[in-house]
Structure 1
Amino acid sequence: MSIRAARERGRRETFARLERKYRAGEYEEVEAEARALAAASRRHSRRRRPLPQWQARVLATGVAVAHGRGTEVLPELEALIDELEPVDPEAHVLRLIVRNNRVTVLNGQERYEDAETEALGILRDVTRLAHLTPLWRMELSALGALAVALCGQDRHEEAEAIARGNLPRAAEPALAGLHAVLVRSLNGQGRHEEALAEARRDPPHQDRRDSGLLDLVTAEALHGLGRRGEAEAAVRRALADCERHLHPAHPRIREARTLLGRVTGEGPGD
């Protein structure tokens, strides 16, 4: 095996290991390792297109977004989007990943129209690249983010259609998010009984990034049904789960606290 081939194999094995740690929820460790890899790649690379450095930075910023530090890394995401030149499939896919992470941040900042525009752009690019590389996971992630953006604009019927149409083919990690946005879209239409039944029917596995999500949308359904005690218990579980596993800046923590105020009567009313 040549030195170049050995380095490439080592790089693939390193990123595969970090991906496994990311799926296991070891966000802080993965981000630290990815940033160290990016720094090392920057020092040693003489290439105009430093692909290993970009891969490490994409991973580091993606982990930060999942952890809840999206606003903090938004300038870095936008810089990466500008730097990545989509002249080959690998670089194009990396750019799509960064753009998809940016949609998550925009949704968290309640910039729903911007998030919708970006998600639709990603889906168009996925369609153009589908003949070159498998992108169905990216497509599902972008569709889930689009549904969140539509809910944020009170376009709940459209969000429901996206969630229902894609849940049958969804797999982890997109499954939990699509399931939750379906429940949220039903709540948004005042269909709280259906939302509660959906929330409690065979709930999917929750990754660390999904902490508190299912309890939060369940609490919304219970609150809509006037079951205040159960709603308060659910939203308190959601808040505790978020505070235990996510960064204090995560938008879901703010959302849970707002809902708790509504449920207990200590915040703005409906």
Structure 2
Amino acid sequence: MRQVIQLRTEQLGATARTTLSARSALAWALIELQRHEEAVAQLRGLLPLVLAAWGEHHEAANGVRLHLGTAHFASGRPARAEELTRVVLAVYPVMDGLRLRAWTLLASALSCLGRHREAADEYTALLNAASPVYGEDDRQLLWVRTDRLHQLAFLAEHDLVEQESRALLAGLADDDPLRAAISGAHAFVLNSAGHHAPAETIVRAALAHHDGADLCLGLARSLNGQGRHEEALRILTDARTRCRQSGDTEHVSLLHTLTARALLGLERLDDAETQARQAVEAARTHHGPTHHRSLEAATTLASVLAARGRHTDAREHLTHCAAAWRRQFGPHHPRTIATDAELAAVPKA
């Protein structure tokens, strides 16, 4: 079959290759329109034709692989995106924009699969390979450093995130979108370490110039940490509106988790359980079962069950969560330690 395709492509020559390029452009347009399953179908049919026309190592073939990986990732299949991007990186050694995007997608897929250490390592390897080509101050690489920062924040690398945040923020204008993303990661690690008031200060400073849902959620986390749950609920209501208007699905699980935490603090336990269960479902759908946000949602549900006096259910959930935190993030991660302590405090049946 491959030989037949090759023969027909050679006969058609430049016209056929132009047609294949146009089909690839159409598939990318479908991705941008968020018609991801249509894009996957288009690209699956296109890939063998492009491979036959240009060969495995050509930029065009690997561009189609990258498009297909992007469509799979957007459709909730990060494992397939990982497979495709690893092929691109193996057969396409040129350190250009295509390889940079493929490497970034690989790291994003690993993060979505809950493999945050591997994701951080891939971002580091990418920066080491691309910096001599693009320069350390290249805008694309600054975003890569920011993405890496978020992985380090999940891993509770507090000192490193503090240091890298300050280095990245130096010289950025107040209204630079990078500043918002960096501030969000910085606030996250401060909240993780229990420094909720300084985290609030950082987020509010960023919100003076930016209005992203991520910052609103960071502020709500800081307020919850200070016991200011009514304020947190007001912020979360605003964040929910922003997410709905923008079609943002990435932050839905965290929105439910933080809302459940606020309701738990206010002892509105029926509502807290509803929000926590929605958080678990949304997190596992969007991020997979081992992502930081999925484990945070599951642990929040266990906390609500404990508060309701359903100790057997709470202990079962917390035992599972503690094991998952330890397996994914290690025994010394703050979440592992906190979940162990919470489990120990729940009475045995």
- Shorter-chain TM band: 0.7 to 0.9
Within the candidate set 85, 91, 104, 2:150 is matched to 104
- AA of the residue aligned to 2:264: H
Aligned to 2:203: 163
1:64-120: CA deviations, max 9, x gaps? 335543233332222222222256468733332222222211221222332222222
Alignment of structure 1 residues 175-186 onto 2, 5 Å: 175-186=212-223
1:1-50: CA deviations, max 9, x gaps? xxxxx9xx99xx799759836699335365555445444432xx4xxx54
Q: Which structure has the larger Rg? A: 2
Shift of 1:55: 3.2
Shift of 1:187: 0.7
User: Residues 168 and 66 of structure 1: is their aligned pair in 2 closer, same or farther, counting only changes over 3 Å?
Assistant: farther
- AA of the residue aligned to 2:230: E
1:213-233: CA deviations, max 9, x gaps? 101111111111111111111
1-side partners of 2:164 and 2:273: how far apart? Answer: 35
- AA of the residue aligned to 1:225: L
Out of 256-265 and 109-118, give the one that drifted further. 109-118
1:146-177: CA deviations, max 9, x gaps? 11111112221222122223235335xxx121
Alignment of structure 1 residues 74-223 onto 2, 5 Å: 74-85=120-131, 88=134, 92-124=138-170, 127=172, 136-170=176-210, 175-201=212-238, 203=240, 204-205=242-243, 207-223=248-264
- AA of the residue aligned to 2:92: S
User: Residues 72 and 18 of structure 1: is their aligned pair in 2 closer, same or farther, counting only changes over 3 Å?
Assistant: farther
Matched-pair contact (CA < 8 Å) for 1:65–1:101? no
2-side partners of 1:209 and 1:17: how far apart? Answer: 21
Matched-pair contact (CA < 8 Å) for 2:107–2:123? yes
Gaps of 5+ in 1: 1-5
1-side partners of 2:26 and 2:85: how far apart? Answer: 10
Matched-pair contact (CA < 8 Å) for 1:150–1:159? yes
Alignment of structure 1 residues 38-77 onto 2, 5 Å: 38-42=89-93, 45=94, 49-66=95-112, 68-77=114-123
Matched-pair contact (CA < 8 Å) for 2:217–2:239? no
Out of 139-148 and 161-170, give the one that drifted further. 161-170
- AA of the residue aligned to 1:96: L
- Cα RMSD of the aligned pairs, angstroms, is 3.4
2-side partners of 1:148 and 1:229: how far apart? Answer: 28
Identity fraction in percent:
30
Secondary structure of the residue that 1:157 maps to in structure 2? Answer: helix
Secondary structure of the residue that 1:209 maps to in structure 2? Answer: coil
1-side partners of 2:204 and 2:83: how far apart? Answer: 37
Matched-pair contact (CA < 8 Å) for 2:214–2:251? yes
User: Residues 229 and 209 of structure 1: is their aligned pair in 2 closer, same or farther, counting only changes over 3 Å?
Assistant: same
TM-score, structure 2 as length reference: 0.61
Matched-pair contact (CA < 8 Å) for 2:82–2:106? yes
Secondary structure of the residue that 1:207 maps to in structure 2? Answer: coil
Aligned to 1:224: 265
User: Residues 18 and 57 of structure 1: is their aligned pair in 2 closer, same or farther, counting only changes over 3 Å?
Assistant: farther
1-side partners of 2:116 and 2:132: how far apart? Answer: 23
1:255 matched to 2:296? The reply is yes
Matched-pair contact (CA < 8 Å) for 1:18–1:30? no
User: Residues 135 and 62 of structure 1: is their aligned pair in 2 closer, same or farther, counting only changes over 3 Å?
Assistant: farther
User: Residues 81 and 18 of structure 1: is their aligned pair in 2 closer, same or farther, counting only changes over 3 Å?
Assistant: farther
